[in-house]
Structure 1
Amino acid sequence: MNFTAIDFETANLNRSSACSLGLVQVRDGIVTGEYEWLIDPQQPFNRMNIAIHGITPSMVDKQPIFKELWTTIEPLVSGEIIIAHNAVFDISVLRYCLDAAEKSYPEIQYLCTYRIGKKLLQELSSHKLNMISNHFGISLNHHNALDDARACAQIMLNLMDPYKECNPLHFAKSLGFQAGSMYSGGYTPFRKRKINPKQLKNKAE
């Protein structure tokens, strides 16, 4: 059961304004590596964003910009199955930051614990990271990038455990999802799998 969980925080509403990244590696179902970076977004901070994550301009002063950090981050994500909670946000932050840095996209596949959790935990009134974390008894300092990545990793492990499935991609596929991907020159979103009408007919028969 191998994957890498990530979480971004941003300075403002622009997806290219990453100011923090948390990354957690899981190998054979065990957390084997944790990383956290503050990032100088080279953009102004929004008061609302500061209120959410507590990161201020002075905290990122003299921190590396994303383009400088990418040489460190790229080997940790390339070729990986990336897990994020509300992946549509985190993967778009990664894409926008790479676009701004004029860097090629890495080869990755990614899954979303928000959408998987929403399908499997229908009894919950909300499927936000803090709500699913509370459901599984996972401690969480919400909107700290590393803590959010840790919680995302533990949520994925908890969601997969009853199914005795070791491959996150097979797990998602069994639930009717198609993994998203990034690759040099483009990306595909995490989505529900398209079912061939002929397959439905065969099943009915």
Structure 2
Amino acid sequence: MKFYSVDVETANPDQSSICQIGIGLFENGELVDTWKSYIDPEGYFHWRFIDIHGITPKMVRGTPTFPKVYLILRQMFENNIVVHHSPFDRVAFRNVFDKYGLEPFEVNWLDSVQVARKTWDEVDGGYNLANLASYLGIQFQHHDALEDSITCGKILVKAILKIQNGYVVPKFHIKTIFYLPARKNFL
């Protein structure tokens, strides 16, 4: 079983203002590779967003704009399962594709919030990433895109292990395990 986990940080309330992307590649329940990049959002940074993630305009100066990493993302994501935590990241990708007029491609999105709700109905305090990670004993640095994406992937692996009685079964399709509707979307 193979899937990518992804998280983005944005520079301001405009969800197309991606300023950092973090990706984890999981195979058979193990994190096997990562990719992280600052992105020049070609826009302003709102002070509240800087307070949240600590990314400043100086940190993204000279980094690629989103169109420069488009092919890298397409090679990873196209026709693969991509796990995200809540709709924010998926919508951010759709918006940045629209902003730059980039050609969409097919992705099998899976929301780890939906998976968590089906797996741990006893969680107090909601299913936000920090609360869920705390509940599951996962330590991470919140609002770093790579840390958040890895945590998202670990949440999915823990859910699979719980549902499969301690086994990660490579032959099963993740959406079948959790009885989630197939959600093929184009980025």
Query: TM-score scaled by structure 2?
Result: 0.91
Q: Alignment partner for residue 173 of structure 2, among 155, 159, 167?
A: 167
Classify 1:98/1:138 alpha carbon distance in 2 versus 1 (closer, same or farther; 3 Å).
Answer: same
Residue of structure 1 in register with 2:7 after alignment: 7
Following TM superposition, by how much is the alpha carbon of 1:115 offset from its aligned partner in structure 2, in angstroms? 2.1
- Are the aligned partners of 2:118 and 2:178 in contact in 1 as well (CA < 8 Å)? no
Residue of structure 2 in register with 1:201 after alignment: none
Q: Alignment partner for residue 181 of structure 1, among 161, 178, 184?
A: 184
- Are the aligned partners of 2:19 and 2:38 in contact in 1 as well (CA < 8 Å)? yes
C-alpha distance in structure 2 between counterparts of 1:27 and 1:124, whole Å = 27
Larger mean Cα displacement after TM superposition, 139-148 or 105-114: 105-114
- Are the aligned partners of 2:22 and 2:145 in contact in 1 as well (CA < 8 Å)? yes
- Are the aligned partners of 1:172 and 1:178 in contact in 2 as well (CA < 8 Å)? no
State the structure with more CA Rg: 1
- Over the residues paired in the alignment, what is the CA RMSD in angstroms? 1.3
- What letter matches 1:100 in structure 2? K
* Counterparts of residues 8-87 of structure 1 (less than 5 Å): 8-86=8-86
Residue of structure 1 in register with 2:123 after alignment: 124
Query: TM-score scaled by structure 1?
Result: 0.84
Query: Identity of paired residues, percent?
Result: 27
Following TM superposition, by how much is the alpha carbon of 1:37 offset from its aligned partner in structure 2, in angstroms? 0.6
C-alpha distance in structure 2 between counterparts of 1:12 and 1:172, whole Å = 34
Following TM superposition, by how much is the alpha carbon of 1:90 offset from its aligned partner in structure 2, in angstroms? 0.5
Over residues 46-73 of structure 1, what are the superposed CA-to-partner deviations in whole Å (9 max), with x where a residue is unaligned? 1111111100011001110001111222
The number of residue pairs the alignment matches comes to 180
- Are the aligned partners of 1:2 and 1:167 in contact in 2 as well (CA < 8 Å)? no
Unpaired runs of at least 5, structure 2? none
Residue of structure 1 in register with 2:98 after alignment: 99
What SS class does the counterpart of residue 178 from structure 2 fall into? helix
- Are the aligned partners of 1:36 and 1:146 in contact in 2 as well (CA < 8 Å)? yes
Larger mean Cα displacement after TM superposition, 15-24 or 162-171: 162-171
Following TM superposition, by how much is the alpha carbon of 1:162 offset from its aligned partner in structure 2, in angstroms? 2.1
Unpaired runs of at least 5, structure 1? 188-205
- Are the aligned partners of 1:114 and 1:127 in contact in 2 as well (CA < 8 Å)? yes
C-alpha distance in structure 1 between counterparts of 2:65 and 2:81, whole Å = 25
Q: Which has the higher contact order (CA 8 A, sep 6+)?
A: 2
- Are the aligned partners of 1:172 and 1:179 in contact in 2 as well (CA < 8 Å)? no
C-alpha distance in structure 2 between counterparts of 1:46 and 1:119, whole Å = 35
- Are the aligned partners of 1:109 and 1:180 in contact in 2 as well (CA < 8 Å)? yes
Residue of structure 1 in register with 2:141 after alignment: 141
